[in-house]
Structure 1
Amino acid sequence: MVTPYRHEPFTDFTNQRNVEEFKAAISKVESELGKEYPLIINGERVTTNEKIISTNPSNKEEIIGVVSKANKDIAEKAISVAHGVFRKWRNVNPEERANILIRAAAIVRRRKHEFSAWLVKEAGKPWKEADADTAEAIDFLEYYARQMIELKDGKAVLSREGEHNRYFYTPIGVTVTISPWNFAFAIMAGTTVAPIVTGNTVLLKPASTTPVVAAKFVEVLEEAGLPNGVVNFIPGSGAEVGDYIVEHPKTSVITFTGSRDVGVSIYEKAGVVQHGQQHLKRVIVEMGGKDTVVVDKEADLELAAEAIVISAFGFSGQKCSAGSRAVVHQEVYDEVLQRVEKLTNKLTLGDPVIQEHYMGPVIDQKAFDKIMSYIEIGKKEGRLIAGGNGNSSKGFFIEPTVFADVAPNASIMQEEIFGPVVAFSKAQNFEEAIEIANNTEYGLTGAVISNNRAHIEQAKRDFHVGNLYFNRNCTGAIVGYHPFGGFKLSGTDSKAGGPDYLPLYMQAKTISEMY
């Protein structure tokens, strides 16, 4: 009997004991900074001359770790290993595969603050954001384990007299997991263990800005009893290693989370049938968003302001679900804007090692430059209400920034900035607000703040996003509660953390036997 799935609770940082334990975890991590991490192929540690240097975005002189960098030759070896191991792993009892995930979840739970501390240092996450990231990683492990046990015998189909029919799922093959830096633990873990538990083998290529957290997780999987070669850890260049493994004829599934441009390129490359390839590749991509908080005239305006601020500035806006657009009914526009300005000016910015800092840095110099360029564009397209400044002298810090009176088709209302910037646009009525909310190429998340039941029902039908929230912020999907994935150019609507996700890593097989 499988125990029921329960969401991993967030840490209560009003409890002083938890605060002290988290500080101790940060100290432990700081004592381990600068270590070297090898590639892992078939359980073997492989060290290369070329390295990826992971640095602290709050203090760019501080080295988090030095990670060996894979090349095409090493990638080819990893593919060969994964292809060979797949023949055995696919036949392992699904319950045993699930048990490995449960054991890994238990290990991470015991080291929860430690993993969160790595996220504080390597990804620049404030305490609460890091804690939520680690909790989500545990959730993915627990949830997918239980989902696999539910799916292991397939689904019921009809049989006729003298005939017995079965419908069940079978693994596909070698999976390429290309994970992002913004949820360096949760999404990396989820997109690694989903193919594992369904009987596939994995080539894990984590984001080059956050490879140490991924290396730590692969060690957890080994400790949990995962056989050698089921996961092969090969961080490396996207142009060299990423493209090579996506296009390789022996890889069967590609799962990617990241930018729209890279996701579209991967989708295109994976669609080409290579010489010797006898299958079409399964592609699972999540490519970002330009997400809107709609505020109706019949709304709790304080709730609306809080939802906008949380959606826009949690983890410095570096979430595909971040609410970077606020579309507000003209009758309450000025009041909501004033409330948001007041809340934004209270936010604290600094090194997330310090608990009191609500916002930390953006991830690196490239991100800093891109976001600051959009802020300059915003000064021309709208009216600067709050923030607007950045400082990259030590770390990559940008103030939470609010622009008002922005046209719906302006650049900062259309393009994904991936930083702490929110643009306000005014709607004459609720119908126009929904039209504006739908006017981008993305369709990931959205929120509607309204006490008008008819408008809520209208938004359910007409607001075209994969995850729609009412009277709350548009970020913070919880595994098993809010299956996550978007429409349009936000991706393949794969619904991570939901009941339909694991079958994406398997093929359905029908068997019919006559008596």
Structure 2
Amino acid sequence: MKTTELTPFKNEPFTDFSVPANKADMEAALRKVKSELGRDYPLWIGADKVMTDGKTVSINPGDVDQVVGRVSKATKEHAEKAMNAALATFETWKKVPAEKRAEYLFKAAQLMRERKHEFSAWMVFEAGKNWVEADADTAEAIDFMEFYGREMIRLSETNLHRPLPKIPSEDNKIAYIPLGVGIVIPPWNFPLAICVGMTTAAIVSGNTVLLKPASVTPVIAHKFVELMEEVGLPAGVINFVPGSGGEIGDYLTSHPKTRFVSFTGSKEVGLHISELAARTAPGQIWIKRLIAEMGGKDGIVVDETADLEAAAQAIVVSAFGFQGQKCSAGSRAFVVESVYDEVVERVRALTEKWTVGLPEQNYPAGPVSDKGAYEKILEYIEVGKKEGRLVVGGGNAEGNGYYIQPTVFADVDGKARIMQEEIFGPVLAIGKAKDYKEAIALYNDTEFGLTGSFFSRDEDHIAYAFEEMHCGNLYVNRKCTGALVGVHPFGGFNMSGTDSKAGGYDYLLLFTQAKATSRKI
């Protein structure tokens, strides 16, 4: 299959649940998935499915009495067997033509499209996403498979579309070949989209992987692995090894046969992985490659010329969508003093309308991920009460789960902890600036640099923001969340990671190595 024969990439549309038929379909999917909760799931090591005595028990964060599934936990011995399976499979998988590898992704994307609501329903129960957030997650997973499949075919045809300069006596070519065996460590907050994106980018490039899903959301990752088996992906290309980060995560990151680590998660864990990967193990013959996305402390800047209602809406949606549990979430806002009070009041009014409740019933706000996050966020809220003026929220919310009120603090100093530290929850801090330049300086005063947004009608101000706001993804007059595959290549600066630009045209280069060949003629 040549790229010229492929249909152009097009983002998967989001579902409009105000349409009665769509609502009914989602309700049916929720009933189906609910009837399947509580099952046991195995490891996948090569062609073997292995049940272990140790299990990770996944619970519904919105109803903690409900078990989503029990997923087998891998030990070091399992991890070593999985590594050997991946190494053996790599020798054949790397020789499979790019268009054939891409075809597996296209088939999986089509099946996921046909079962879109079912995949979303699993995230409603396991990740605490409401219908819209879950639907967007599934759509992004489909997008990643469609986009990376096309990209791998394009890279394989580089010599056709971007030939090297010709010289009279030589035939010169360049090819992008796979790296080897990689460790894929996705996050819990986009448990389908990012898991699918990281894994399929690696395998469509010709690598084999050990997939270690997040302990909070292992069931949805297992559903993805099942899908890839269904489309005929050879055994051993993806090896499913959930387990302890301290045990098998560190073991595999340090393994001499690990060629690369693809990680999305916290700054602290990312730096730990970076340190381990940088050490050379006995028998290791390469420098391990690290692809890392490590979160952010993102924000929105509003100047005096902005559409204030649009700015306030963007601030609220960016801060509280999926309970602020996005690495792109806008947890800070800096507003020019002449419009500061009006923006704060608009944000307060909008936030008070956000109701909190069970994701299955599609409330705007649901639970946070687990007990640890719940307790940590509530501690930060208490810190915020000392660092700013509580505008709305300020505590937990009712329900048999990890529910927290959307919380807004105003008059917060730029150096305050709630302005500097990643909370990863429904907590927004707002600060005042004398003008747009000071507001941008306050925005830049962070160790992170993932996403940002600037609201203004002044072209000179906007030009200044484009030049000076230091982040990997900068948006003007829109929210700072919601990157689309192919449209907004995603990745950040500084402690936000390696700026890998997932969903962009350079991403697969990170999973390949360029080999130039010259033949005298």
Q: Match for 1:119: what amino acid? A: M
Instruction: Give runs of aligned pairs for residues 303-342 of structure 1, distance below 5 A.
Output: 303-342=310-349
SS at match of 1:99: helix
Q: 1:302 aligns with which of 304, 309, 313?
A: 309
2:479 is aligned with 1:508: no
Compute the displacement of 1:153 (Å): 2.5
Q: Match for 1:35: what amino acid? A: R
Whole-angstrom distance in 1 between the partners of 2:135 and 2:157? 35
Give percent identity, aligned residues only. Answer: 56
Native 8 Å contact 2:357 2:399 kept in 1: no
Residue deviations 1:203-262, cap 9 Å, x none?
000001100000000010011110010000000000001001111001101000000000
Native 8 Å contact 2:356 2:397 kept in 1: no
Q: 1:489 aligns with which of 467, 471, 495?
A: 495
Instruction: Give runs of aligned pairs for residues 331-480 of structure 1, distance below 5 A.
Output: 331-355=338-362, 357-391=363-397, 394-480=400-486
SS at match of 1:53: strand
Q: 1:175 aligns with which of 178, 182, 201?
A: 182
Whole-angstrom distance in 2 between the partners of 1:416 and 1:378? 13
Q: 1:287 aligns with which of 294, 304, 309?
A: 294
Which deviates more from structure 2 when the two are superposed, residues 39-48 or residues 174-183? 39-48
The alignment's TM-score, normalised by the length of structure 2, stands at 0.98
Instruction: Give runs of aligned pairs for residues 184-263 of structure 1, distance below 5 A.
Output: 184-263=191-270
The alignment yields a C-alpha RMSD, in angstroms, of 0.8
Native 8 Å contact 2:51 2:72 kept in 1: yes
Compute the displacement of 1:392 (Å): 7.6
SS at match of 1:395: coil
2:160 is aligned with 1:160: no
Compute the displacement of 1:391 (Å): 4.3
Residue deviations 1:159-187, cap 9 Å, x none?
21111111110100001000100000000
Q: 2:46 aligns with which of 32, 42, 49?
A: 42
Whole-angstrom distance in 1 between the partners of 2:309 and 2:397? 31
Whole-angstrom distance in 2 between the partners of 1:225 and 1:193? 14
Q: Match for 2:120: what amino acid? A: S
Residue deviations 1:51-109, cap 9 Å, x none?
00000000111100011000100000000110111011000010000000000001101
Compute the displacement of 1:156 (Å): 2.2
Native 8 Å contact 1:445 1:468 kept in 2: yes
2:64 is aligned with 1:60: yes
Residue equivalent to 2:8: 4
Aligned length: 514
Q: Match for 1:56: what amino acid? A: N
SS at match of 1:353: helix
- Moved >6 Å (runs of 4+): none
Native 8 Å contact 2:57 2:67 kept in 1: yes
Q: Match for 1:326: what amino acid? A: A
Q: 2:113 aligns with which of 92, 95, 109?
A: 109
Compute the displacement of 1:301 (Å): 0.3
Compute the displacement of 1:393 (Å): 6.6
Whole-angstrom distance in 2 between the partners of 1:391 and 1:432? 36
Native 8 Å contact 2:332 2:419 kept in 1: yes
Residue deviations 1:336-384, cap 9 Å, x none?
00000000001110001112x1010000000000000000000000000
Residue deviations 1:466-489, cap 9 Å, x none?
000010000000001100000000
Q: Match for 2:502: what amino acid? A: A
For structure 1, list consecutive stretches of 5 or more residues without a partner in the other structure: none
Q: Match for 1:404: what amino acid? A: A
Native 8 Å contact 1:365 1:392 kept in 2: no
Residue deviations 1:405-446, cap 9 Å, x none?
000000000000000000000010111011001000000000
Compute the displacement of 1:267 (Å): 0.8
